Structure 1
Amino acid sequence: MRLEAFRATALNHLATVDVAFDESLTFITGINGTGKTSVLNGIMALLTPSLSLLDDLSFSTIEVRFSVDGKSHTVKALKSSGSITLSVAGVSDPVSFAQYTPVDEDDFFDAQDTKSHYYQEISSENAGNRTLRFLNSIPTPVFLGIDRRYRGVSRKRRTRTRGSARGRLAFGTALINSLNQAIELAEGEFAETQASRGRLSRDFVRDLLLELIDVPLPSPSFGGFDAPSPGDRKQLSEAFNSIRRFPKVEGITANDVTTRVQPTLSKVNDAVKLIPEDFDISKIASNTPEDHRVIEALLIWNSFKPNLGRIAGLSRLVADYNKRVAGVETSISSYVNLLDKFLTDSGKSIGFNDRGILEIRISDRALVPEELSSGEAQIFVLLTHLSFNEAAQAAGVFIIDEPELSLHVQWQEILVSSLLKANPSIQYILATHSPSIILDNIENAKDLTKFARA
């Protein structure tokens, strides 16, 4: 999904609002009271769709033009004389309903429950309506509003429940709820990464380990032999380097491997160094100590030469395995590096323990993510959902109201670049007061002040 434009008449106190969104990044700016939050709420009310939120907003008309899979659509709401009509261009079945009329209830929460129940009934009664069915079928933008209350800290870790965090919307009302969802996403991704790496390790062991690891030590022998060519020397040097990169797999370390192979390679390498690169084997006299040393070196080289192909094969398989593992671990390593950019200044870092549980590390202690500050928790939630939430990635649109809340200026300055790095394929729409958020992206700012003044 991509949002293309938002238009409204009589939105709160504004006569008209007309905002075109950039493909990748848009800032909604303006002084207080110019309608930044109202624009975002209007977008979400239309696309969710939320009949109750449409009731809460004050407007004559609001509409959003957007595209899904390259096809453009326009959804519009009209409010007049106590009723609301919701329609989609090209869909022949608009839905109209009377606005909720408050009843005399003393308790605010009871009144809200009554209103919520009213609009749930309208949605149920119109479940077959083509407009509602269409809007419920499209991706929903992910929205982080300004209600980010941190309601309590739970130091007792919960049992991970896979899949529960992959809902349609990324954020709950309270930040603590979104934090718990983000923890599940991160730990789930780490578990999947470890499982993939385990499968690669088993394949690696099956294909080569027992066959290639045990290289026999050469011993001098007589017979026909050749001097090492320049290609042989290069291959031997590469074998030295590649064996040091042998991966830790199935409990076998690089040290385990080099302990067995290094003596052989060292002896062969020392022997090859004694053989001149332009050596002519037909001219050896064998009657000087130097000739004897060269002959012995030639014998060592020729007895080892058949194994060089095995070492080269090992080198290729090790390189391929390491490349595959790096590919599997890219998402986790990039995610950890992004979060650590924010946490490093306070002496913290993020990681996973040997049970796959996410931890915040500081000095020699391990904290649970629920012990993060509100600003740290907000960054953790944002980057985790952008990195791993399938619903957020499917929606393709991420909307944040006042992203600067709870963030130090230094963090504000790296926020947008971090969001884009976490997921460059998403369209970001941010309503902000902060120049530190916008920085050099002033061409992406849409100022609502002109509509307020009009």
Structure 2
Amino acid sequence: LENAIIKVEKIERDFSPYPKIEFSLKSYESSKFKNFNLEDLEEDNFYRYQKDFLISRSLFDQNRYSNDIGLELEKLVNVSWLSIHRMSAKKRREDKSYESTIDQKIEELQIDLVKYFSQLNRSYAIETEKFQKYIFESLIDSSHYDNILQDDIIDPDKEKKSLTSIFDYFKVSSKSYSSKLDNYFIEYKTSVEKFKSRVGLDLKDFSFLLGTVRIHSAVEEWNKIVQKQTSIYKTKETFIDVINNLLQRKVIFINERNELTVKTQSGKIFPLTNLSSGEKQLLIILGQSLLQEEDVHIYIADEPELSLHIEWQEKLVNSLKNINPNSQIIFATHSPDIVSEYDDYVIKIENAIK
């Protein structure tokens, strides 16, 4: 980290065969380090029995353990942190109403993704609102008439396709506009031929050509919005493509309430909670990457291979990089398949702590 100092120290203990690993963290602006202990046994007890565990500790230890290192790191850098239990760093206590912490995390992820997808839709809605404002402003703007004397400023096929997409977006019935659109381009062709030959051109033709320039200006503005739409939804579409390429005999889609939903090959619809354990794990790991919104991120996960098929393990890192190419991925794993393509980046713990 460019703006922080992190120290890691191994401390041997007479009463235990296992050393204590001490993490010390501070920003350059701070004068004091904050200390954290992520020893396996105590971390596990803390995550599972947070309340009882803290009561049994001294006040000093309570402060150390309640100030989670993940939350502290988030103040300095964007961090996504998945523990082995997959519980949220900000909501770690297990809710007994769920069958497992995985189901709890799936519901939390669903809520976060609904908010994210709704935010994307709002961003796109703002762009379409700008388009509607542009249409009204263009009624009193004569600047786009400058092109009327230029030949072939409009490609009829592209123009028709764009106009069709505009009508469809605003939910205009095709029965209402289809024949009108065909007649429009027939008349356009006739008027352009008259304009080029300067034969038979009357006031009606000239007025029609003025209208086509205005319409073309609106189409160009709409095409800009379509490009912005592609940019707005790109990461979301990548996420859906990535996960559906991994799943078998079912697909994930986003319903009208912006919820991730599952559809089988037979057409049956069911919620995420009906997925297998491995599918839930996969969705959690990939979903966390999507929520990074392509920002520069450090993505830390403990044992990402849990319940994952070997093929999924082999494709996991590349799948995450496709969703967020700006993330730095740090995995603690027992699986050689996870890191098969990245052997040069592997740090073996037994070598690192000698």
Opposite residue 298 of structure 2, the aligned amino acid is: V
1:205 deviates by 3.2
Q: Deviations over 1:1-45 (max 9, x none)?
A: 6798764435699xxxxxxxxxxxxxxxxxxxxxxxxxxxxxxxx
Q: Distance in 2 between matches of 1:135 and 1:374?
A: 25
> Which structure would you say has the larger RCO, counting Cα contacts within 8 Å and 6 or more residues apart?
1
1:169 deviates by 6.5
1:414 deviates by 1.5
Q: Among 344, 347, 353, which residue is 1:446 paired with? A: 347
Q: Give 2:171's aligned residue.
A: 251
Secondary structure of 2:338's counterpart equals helix
Q: Among 64, 71, 74, which residue is 1:139 paired with? A: 74
Q: Distance in 2 between matches of 1:189 and 1:246?
A: 25
State the 4+ residue runs in structure 1 displaced beyond 6 angstroms.
2-6, 132-136, 169-173, 209-212, 297-300
Query: Is structure 2 residue 208 aligned with structure 1 residue 304?
Result: yes
Q: Deviations over 1:211-255 (max 9, x none)?
A: 88xxxxxxxxxxxxxxx97x4224254544533442533433677
Query: Is structure 2 residue 180 aligned with structure 1 residue 260?
Result: yes
Q: Among 319, 331, 336, which residue is 2:223 paired with? A: 319
1:368 deviates by 0.2
CA contact 2:86–2:101 (8 Å) conserved in 1: yes
Q: How many residues align?
A: 323
CA contact 2:6–2:26 (8 Å) conserved in 1: no
Query: Is structure 2 residue 290 aligned with structure 1 residue 371?
Result: no
Q: Give 1:36's aligned residue.
A: none
Secondary structure of 2:287's counterpart equals helix
CA contact 1:179–1:381 (8 Å) conserved in 2: yes
1:365 deviates by 1.2
Q: Distance in 1 between matches of 2:202 and 2:229?
A: 39
Q: How does 1:79-94 map to 2 (within 5 A)?
A: 90-91=31-32
Q: Among 172, 175, 189, which residue is 1:269 paired with? A: 189
Q: Distance in 1 between matches of 2:281 and 2:271?
A: 15
Q: Give 2:44's aligned residue.
A: none
Opposite residue 235 of structure 1, the aligned amino acid is: I
Q: Give 1:179's aligned residue.
A: 106
1:136 deviates by 6.4
Which deviates further from its counterpart, 379-388 or 4-13? 4-13
Q: Give 1:117's aligned residue.
A: 55
Q: Distance in 1 between matches of 2:185 and 2:216?
A: 12
1:310 deviates by 0.9
Query: Is structure 2 residue 198 aligned with structure 1 residue 197?
Result: no
Opposite residue 54 of structure 2, the aligned amino acid is: S
CA contact 2:252–2:262 (8 Å) conserved in 1: yes
CA contact 1:342–1:411 (8 Å) conserved in 2: yes
Q: Distance in 1 between matches of 2:223 and 2:175?
A: 17
Opposite residue 119 of structure 2, the aligned amino acid is: E
1:178 deviates by 0.8
Q: Among 316, 320, 324, which residue is 1:423 paired with? A: 324
Q: Give 1:361's aligned residue.
A: 263
1:412 deviates by 1.3
1:330 deviates by 3.0
Q: Deviations over 1:84-138 (max 9, x none)?
A: xxxx9x418x789xxxxxxxxxxxxx998644213373366x69xxxx7999654
Opposite residue 211 of structure 2, the aligned amino acid is: N
What is the percentage of aligned positions where both structures have the same residue? 18
Please give the TM-score of this superposition, normalised by the length of structure 1: 0.57
Query: Is structure 2 residue 349 aligned with structure 1 residue 435?
Result: no
Secondary structure of 1:399's counterpart equals strand
Opposite residue 82 of structure 2, the aligned amino acid is: L
| Higher CA-based Rg | 1
Q: Give 1:77's aligned residue.
A: none
Q: Distance in 2 between matches of 1:264 and 1:114?
A: 75
Flag structure 2 segments of 5+ consecutive residues without an equivalent: 37-47, 95-99, 140-147
C-alpha RMSD of matched pairs (Å): 4.5
Query: Is structure 2 residue 305 aligned with structure 1 residue 383?
Result: no
Q: Deviations over 1:334-366 (max 9, x none)?
A: 3222222222xx121112222333311113111
1:175 deviates by 1.0
Q: Distance in 2 between matches of 1:438 and 1:236?
A: 51
Q: CA distance change for structure 1 residues 60 and 328 in 2, over 3 Å: closer, same or farther?
A: closer
CA contact 1:386–1:422 (8 Å) conserved in 2: yes
Q: CA distance change for structure 1 residues 297 and 243 in 2, over 3 Å: closer, same or farther?
A: farther
Q: Distance in 2 between matches of 1:200 and 1:308?
A: 23
Opposite residue 91 of structure 1, the aligned amino acid is: K
Q: Distance in 1 between matches of 2:228 and 2:49?
A: 57
Flag structure 1 segments of 5+ consecutive residues without an equivalent: 14-54, 74-87, 97-109, 150-164, 213-227, 282-294
CA contact 1:272–1:297 (8 Å) conserved in 2: no
